[in-house]
A and B are shown apart, each in its own frame.
Chain A
């Protein structure tokens, strides 16, 4: 059980429970193996929507799929069922973990709170009906369905902010929403919430909680990848400006280094800066998974530098490749630390990607996309 000290650091008050940790990690490792395997995804790509609904109904999604009134659920309903299943899986993991493992898992899952709070704020501001907003929510974080229902039942924007007074990121919302009529309020608020989330997470993980340091490595890599991706996006989609305000602090690459990188416009300068980053080998590996195993590091660097210098798109293919490589890396780290928070996080990430994969397949089939192309968007 974690408590928050006066200075905001988390203190582990529960005695380490090795048998509980071993039990949880083992169970989650087994669960991870029970997730839909690669060959089943490849089969699903060639199925129709009703067949997929039946298939996933037989593979752990029965409760959510079988609530459909008809035998032919539509794609939107399947997506809602997938989100509900993901929320249930996260809640299940939270129930399964104990001690410091639970604390770290809870911290990790708080990211869903940001997603949900932003959906509620934006939906309410746009005047969407509560039922429509409810369909989009994934109550996998600290704010459970009941808390989100309270927010949905709240009338005005100020009341929602007041209702969130006990939420850990409430100070950020309060600070950012002082002038609710300023342009791009929600974009700024969302960025600040994510920045604060990562700042808190890094501080908490580094505050001496058992397993925190192991989690930190994975977290820093996640931050680096998010920052690098966003830097490429900013470069491709905006006039040149200092990206520091949009970056997450706490990664292996500092915000200052990212700011300096954003000023580089030539190929060679970018490549020499890029080589010094710790995510360099991961991105090279990701490009190899896209373009072929024979690709050299130099060719991968050229590809990324070409995108950087030319402000080119698309970037999403690389993003998918990076997600695959990152999951592989996490699996490797998890094997090296079998009784830490990493198997828990790995399971949650794999579960998330299972849901994303099914969604990608269902959406791709619904839009008539070629099976080979759909396969590119499946993270296995």
Chain B
């Protein structure tokens, strides 16, 4: 599991590194503490030792005598844990606290400066002992001065210190772990952002990651954008090839139709009829494929703004006005400035071209194209003053999930491209009666394309189907 998660890996590494660092710090602190308190104890012993040395002499028998003794009562209390002892080769003197015991004489006790060391002492206790040789005035040989203290309390203090330090360092470890978690989370946040942005790339070949990434993530975003560009180019090429193939078949189809016409003129009427039906089926299949390929390309391909939409509608009207179909019609276009729809210009031209042409086909004198923004929806209405669909036909069309091309012949809505493009751009279609008297086709898109949008639009599709 740790292998799979960058966060866990970073956290585990941080936990181990911080733990090792804290253990090392704890060990060091313990060592310094122990050295410090030992030094203090040794200093206290040396102080007493110097006091004794001040009144040190050797009697006539050559035995050492301490004329001055330290004031600490523990030197007079047997087994108290605080001792002094003076030794020459002729004899020794010691504090009452040693009772009948002696401080051990160790090799290396002949130094002439104070030296501290640990060693086992009387009464089964371990001792911290300081010692040096001092040559009193008029003495024939030096006296070994030894002072010792029971090191049990030192060990107890060290244990106490270690326990408290371990507890503190444990708490510090937890705190640093939390800090590491926050740091890792903050550090990985740009990746989460990139991941969210990549999710939008998935549905939209034209989308790119926006800029503004941290310096470390920017090359990744650039690489992803380069990949998206390559993918879009591949898609574009594939679609173009499919479109070119479909288009290239159209001229041969026209040629077949021409030959068929000759066959009909030569008397082969029945064969020509059959061929015509086959040609019509082939043409329909080509148109459907072209519509599909265009719809696939239209998926989140871009946005069109009001000025753009109006220009496209005027261009379409300019085409229709020149045909017999449109030359007698009045076209009425109203687009509010704030309108924008999630459909790229070219696709919108195809979509509106098919619908306006259809409206023109059925209009008496007038076709109206309106746009509007309502709540989070962009809407377009294409209306005519023709006979309309009639309530039953409208309901029948809507009940089939608003696929206009499945509405069948009779109401002139063989508009595969409209359904496919609306579906591809997460839009909805509703048919109704226009106040002009004819059919009203209402197109709507949710314009706030947040992650929740697809769910909303699925809901809208459901609403459309069940209205």
A binds B: no
